[in-house]
Amino acid sequence: MSDEAITPFQISIPDADLADLKERLQRTRLPDQLPDTGWGYGTDTAWLKTLLTYWRDELDWREQEAQLNRFDQFVTHIDGVDLHFIHQRSPHPDAMPLLLTHGWPGSIVEFRHLIDALTHPEQHGGSAADAFHVIAPSLPGFAFSGKPTQPGYNPERMAHMLAALMQRLGYERYGAQGGDWGGIINRILAARYPQRLIGLHSNFVLASAPRDPDILAATPAADTERREARQAYMANEVAYQQIQGTKPQTLGVGLNDSPAGLAAWIGEKFHGWSDLEGDDPDSKFSRDDLLTNISVYWFTQSITSSARIYYENRAVPLTEPLGFVSVPTAGAIFPKEIYLTPRLWAEQSYNIVRWTDMPSGGHFAAMEEPQLLLADIRAFFAEVD
C-alpha cells in the first residue's frame, strides 16, 4: 500500500478470538464486595456479573459486527500510523462533510445510531438540506487504527492527522463535531486550520477561567454553581486520569489480559459520567451498545495504546498556544457532562454562535441522547452553512 492509498476495510474478528473471549469470561474471578455499597467503591460487582454473563452467553458479536460493517470503512497511512475511518457519503451530492471525532473510552461505536440520520435525513425526520457526508475516524491507538510505535502522539498531533485525512479525501471545507478527546482535538483542529472548518460543534466545551475580574463578576451565579457542582463530583472520579496519564503501561497489563477487568474499567465510566435513572447504566445504555464498544477495545487490544493519549497530553506540550477559535462554534451542554464551562467563559476562547442547554444527558451524548444531539447538529450547521 502506497503512503497515500485508501484501502477498503471490514471488521472481521477471527473465530479463535471469539472462543478465547468466551473461555476467559467462563474463568472470571470476581472480587468480594462490602455489603450494600453499590458503586461507592467502584464498579458494582452484581451489575458487572450480570453484564459479563450477557457478554459470554447472549451478545451476538457477529450481528454487532455486521451492523458496523453496514458503514463504508477504509484505512490509510498518515504520519506513521494506519488510520481507520468510516466514510459514509450521503446520496445527496450537496451534503456537508462532517468529521465526527470520538474520545476515550468511546469509539466509532458511539456514532452508529447517528450516521444513518446524518446521511439520509429524509428517512429520519429531516430534509435533504440536513444531509451530511460522515467521516468518523478511529483515533490513532484506538480500535481498528494502528498503534503508534513511538511517543509523541498527543491531541495536537492527532488534529494534524485528521486535517491530513480530510485533505486526502478531497474535502477542502467541512464541519467538525466531537466530545471528550474528540472535542479537544477538534478545538485544536479549528485553531490550527480555521480556513478549513465551516463550523465547530462540541458537546465538550472546555475553557479556562477568564483573568478579567469584570467577566468573572458578570458570570451568572447559576453557571458558576453548576460548574462547581460538577467539579466537586469529579474530584472523586479522576483516579483514571492519574494512572493513565502516568503509568498506562502498568494498567494495560491487567486490562488487556482480563475481559472482566476491561468491562469494569470502562463500565464504571459509563456509570459515573452519564445521566442515569437511579444508579443503573442499563437505564440509558443497551447491553449490546455498551458491550460492542467494550468488545472493540478487547478484540483490537487497544486499551493500553488508547490510554496513552493521557500520558502524551501531559508529556508533549503544544507547539504554540491555542489562541482564540474564530471558527463559528456551537456548544451542546448536557447537564451530567463531566465538566461544565459557563457560556461567558467559553466566549473568551471561542466564537460562540449557538449554545444549547440540554434537558438531559451526560458525557456520552451520541449514545445517551442521539436525538437531542442530532437536532442540535442539524440546527447549527443550517445556521453557519
Segment 169-217, tens digit of pLDDT: 999 999 999 999 999 999 999 999 999 999 999 999 999 999 999 999 9
Tens digit of each residue's pLDDT (9 = 90 or more) over 5-33? 999 999 999 999 999 999 999 999 999 99
For residue 380, is it within any domain? yes
Segments in 59-193 forming alpha helices (H): 61-68, 115-119, 155-168, 181-192
Q: Which residues are catalytic?
A: 180, 310, 363
Name the percent of the chain lying above pLDDT 90. Answer: 98
Query: For 297-317, what is the mean pLDDT?
Result: 98
Give the pLDDT band of residue 2 (cuts 50, 70, 90). low
Query: For 88-104, what is the mean pLDDT?
Result: 98
Tens digit of each residue's pLDDT (9 = 90 or more) over 262-271? 999 999 999 9
Q: Could you count the other beta carbons within 10 Å of the beta carbon of residue 26?
A: 10
Tens digit of each residue's pLDDT (9 = 90 or more) over 116-145? 999 999 999 999 999 999 999 999 999 999
Tens digit of each residue's pLDDT (9 = 90 or more) over 31-90? 999 999 999 999 999 999 999 999 999 999 999 999 999 999 999 999 999 999 999 999
The H helix count followed by the E strand count for the chain is: 16, 9
> What is the pLDDT at residue 89?
98
User: Side by side, which strands form the sheet with 81-88?
Assistant: 6-9, 73-78, 81-88, 132-137, 96-101, 174-178, 197-202, 325-333, 350-357
Tens digit of each residue's pLDDT (9 = 90 or more) over 230-264? 999 999 999 999 999 999 999 999 999 999 999 99
d(CA 344, CA 334): 17
Amino acid at position 347, single letter = E
What residue numbers bound the domain in which 119 lies? 6-28+39-384
SS3 85: strand
Query: Would the pLDDT of 1 be above 60?
Result: no
For residue 113, is it within any domain? yes
CA angle, corner 339, sides to 371 and 146, nearest 5?
75
Query: Would the pLDDT of 360 be above 90?
Result: yes
| Residue whose cell numbers read 472546555 | 206
User: Residue 356 belongs to a domain with what CATH number?
Assistant: 3.40.50.1820
For residue 280, is it within any domain? yes
How many domains does one find in the chain? 1
Q: Which residues contact 350 (CB under 8 A, 6 or more apart)?
A: 187, 200, 205, 207, 324, 325, 327, 329, 331
3-state helix, strand, coil in the chain (%, to 5): 45, 15, 40
For residue 34, is it within any domain? no
d(CA 188, CA 155): 8
d(CA 70, CA 119): 13
For residue 136, is it within any domain? yes
Nearest CA to 193 out of 227, 156, 248 is that of 156
For residue 1, is it within any domain? no
d(CA 235, CA 15): 42
Q: Could you count the other beta carbons within 10 Å of the beta carbon of residue 53?
A: 12
For residue 135, is it within any domain? yes
For residue 33, is it within any domain? no
